[in-house]
Amino acid sequence: MSLSTEKSEKGVILHGIGVSPGIRIGRVEAIEYEKLKVPWSELAGEQVELEAARYDQAVTRAIDQLERQKRRVNRHSSEEHYFILEAHQYMLKDDMLAAEPSKLIRDHHFNAEWALKITLERLNDNFSRMDGEMARKRITDLADVGRRVMENLMGVRRRALNDIRADSILVAHTITPGDATHFYSHPVRGFALEVGGKASHIAIVARSMEIPAVLGLENLLTVAKQGDWLVIDGSRGLVVVNPDAEQLDRYRKKEASYDDWNERLHVNRDLPAVTQDGVRIVLKGNIESVEETPTLAEHGAEGVGLFRTEFMYMDRTRPPTEDEHYAYYRRLVESCDCGPVTIRTMDIGSDKYPAYWPYVDEANPALGCRAIRGIARDRQFFVDQIRAIYRAGVHGDVKLLLPFISGVAEVDDVKVLLEDVLKNMREEGAEFNPDIPLGVMIELPSAAIVSDHLATRVDYFSIGTNDLIQYTLAVDRDADQLSTLYNPLHPAILRMIKMTCDHAARVPIPVALCGEMASEMEYTLLLLGLGLRELDMPASAIPSVKEIIRASTLAEARELAERALLCQTADEVEDVVFPYMAHRFPSFFEDID
């Protein structure tokens, strides 16, 4: 690569969201999709059916286009990418896109483009009112799928990504998972987009194709122009447009050292997570959709530590039926061959709920009818899911996990309900596995405090620090302005984790920790020292956590935890843990700048 080094001005640095790690340098290929100006017209009565048929054709065409893209992906065996395209096909077949616009055409005599626009706006509004990654993912999916149908209706052809220069860096407002299928035959060094976040499907595709990517770079297209040089740092979430000689030199070195480091981490994929003094730690992946199962084995996960089922309830007008649940869980279990799959029953309420959830008007939803509390109003909601999980247990190693448990009485009640479900299934002669282990999440302070009693009632614990921190410290987990208070190292949190592990060990039952804390390498030793032997996290975090484990001893972890437990404030704990980790693992914790 030859890059002019005459420029003395520093390159422009833009900060976004790093969604797929790696550092790459290349020339910009800028793609600007035409802004679609949606036409409006009022149809005469006799045109209505023709217009509805035109809409149906545009949808069918979109499904066919996705089918062709799926075939392209299939050749490169990326199941993850394949499932995303398939999910887009499902969206097109669902009533919300398949039927709603036709209804508007018939009821209001709108032209098809306008009917689609209105439908997309309504759905977008619904999802925008929900918080959380899953809702954000649905919003981008909807935009991708909606644009595809709109282009078909308007006869717009987008620039194919197969005529961009190989080895360039793609810069665009957004691209779809379908667009990305071109990267198999026309690889790019990386891509940078103006919109999108960590959980968007295009981010999942980038990670599965191992293409460094940064999203959410506002105004990128006004700064980075066709042919410019661009550095993309997917690990730190930034791009440098037209770097000067010094920046370029620095990033070339980083590019090389990142590649070395990455190679080392991939080597550890098949090695066990064993400490130097021989203690085996289990590392599993957390996922939210079957599309993500390929990432598990790729990163050395030993199963699914947490399968969040909420999204199954989201973009629809009624809850899934038992058979819909079952079909999905069966596919999940069959596509995950690296270990057991822990399916958590729906954790709807608080920040994530569909419009049909009966408790949408609560004044204080985080303290409201979340998860199993909903059984009081609608038992069937829960029973359908439970039955499907027992049925899916026939096809693989499944565990059942209950979220948001506040104490013993709830567990006892749910166990009576489970017995009832099993009895009915036996009487019906259904095919199911009655021996699925039952676990509860320890994510409320009350549950941690009575974990001695809970431990005698269930087969395992999974500590959910995301909520445990929120509810113990009374800090909204999503409130940016309070983020300094939301500290996993608060002594109260450490004591609760320790207490839960100690209570579980007395019975004994296994304990996992599945909150975000498990994925952060600076906490790994501390967590082992507090008593954890299983950590569940997004699969991509597993290799680095495993490196720490393999280089440590349990003895030092215990010593570190003992010192941390003596502290009175989170700051004091930080002063114990961070310098220790930085000293022990300098290559992991050095500031790469």
Comparison of 315 and 347: residue with beta carbon closer to ligand PEP: 347
How near is the Cβ of 476 to Mg ion at its closest, in Å? 13
Residue among 85, 98, 90 at smallest CA distance from 57: 98
CB 372 within 8 A of CB 411: no
By beta-carbon proximity to ligand PEP, the closer residue of 223 and 402 is: 402
CB 380 within 8 A of CB 319: no
For the bound state, the minimum distance from the C-beta of residue 224 to Mg ion, rounded and expressed in Å, comes to 39
Which CB, 193 or 306, lies closer to Mg ion?
Answer: 306
Structure token digits, residue 275 = 């400490």
Partner whose binding site includes residue 80, from ligand PEP, Mg ion, none (CB under 5 to 8 Å by kind) = none
Binding site for ligand PEP (CB under 6 A): 306, 308, 347, 443, 464-467, 514-515
Closer CB to ligand PEP, 233 or 443, in the complex: 443
Active site residue 514: yes
From the list Mg ion, ligand PEP, none, partner contacted by residue 374 (C-beta under 5 to 8 A by kind):
none
Residue 178 binds which of Mg ion, ligand PEP, none (CB < 5-8 A, kind-dependent):
none
List phi, psi (to 5°) of 319: -65, 160
543 binding partner (options Mg ion, ligand PEP, none; Cβ < 5 to 8 Å by kind): none
The β-bridge partners of 190 are: 169
Handedness of CA 577, 582, 583, 584 (dihedral sign): positive
Selected catalytic residue, list 81, 88, 201, 503: 201
In whole angstroms, how far apart are CA 7 and each of 246, 436, 497, 523, 531?
A: 10, 65, 54, 43, 55
Of the pair 79, 443, the CB lying nearest ligand PEP is at 443
343, 309 Cβ separation under 8 angstroms: yes
d(CA 343, CA 290): 12
Residue 443 CB, nearest approach to Mg ion (Å): 5
* SS3 category, 344: strand
> Which partner, Mg ion, ligand PEP, none, binds residue 515 by CB below 5 to 8 Å per kind?
ligand PEP
Task: Give the three-class secondary structure for 20.
Answer: strand
For 42, which DSSP code?
Answer: B
Residue 247: HSE in the Cβ half-sphere, 13 Å Cα cutoff: 24
CB of 288 to Mg ion, least distance (A): 13
- How many whole angstroms separate alpha carbon 182 and alpha carbon 164? 10
Q: Which is nearer to Mg ion, 179 or 467 (CB)?
A: 467
Q: Is 453 a catalytic residue?
A: no
How far is 460 from 437, CA to CA, in rounded Å? Answer: 8
We find the least distance from the C-beta atom of residue 5 to Mg ion, in angstroms, to be 51
**Under a CB-based contact definition with an 8 Å cutoff, are residues 553 and 300 in contact?**
no
CB nearer Mg ion, residue 16 or residue 538: 538
Cα 30 vs. chain centroid, distance in angstroms?
A: 28
Closest residue to ligand PEP in the complex (CB): 464
Gap between the Cα atoms of 468 and 404, Å rounded: 10
Nearest approach in angstroms of CB 280 to Mg ion is: 27
Catalytic residue from among 336, 369, 514, 567: 514
Which residue number, 235 or 465, has a Cβ lying nearer to ligand PEP? Answer: 465
Collapsed DSSP state (helix, strand, coil) of residue 17 = strand
| Binding partner of 348, given Mg ion, ligand PEP, none, CB within 5-8 angstroms per partner class | none
Distance CA 188, CA 179 (A): 12
Q: How far is the CB of 467 from ligand PEP (least distance, A)?
A: 3
Considering CB distances under 5 to 8 angstroms, the limit depending on partner class, which of Mg ion, ligand PEP, none binds residue 255? none
Counting beta carbons within 10 angstroms of the beta carbon of residue 239, is it exposed (0 to 12), middle (13 to 18) or buried (19 or more)? buried
Tell which phi-psi region holds residue 531, choosing left (phi > 0), alpha (psi between -120 and 50) or beta.
Answer: left
- Which residues contact Mg ion (rule: CB under 5 A)? 443, 464, 467
- Name the binder of 288 from ligand PEP, Mg ion, none, CB < 5-8 A by kind: none
Longest Cα pair distance anywhere in the chain, in angstroms? 81
Q: How far is the CB of 514 from ligand PEP (least distance, A)?
A: 5
Active site members: 201, 514
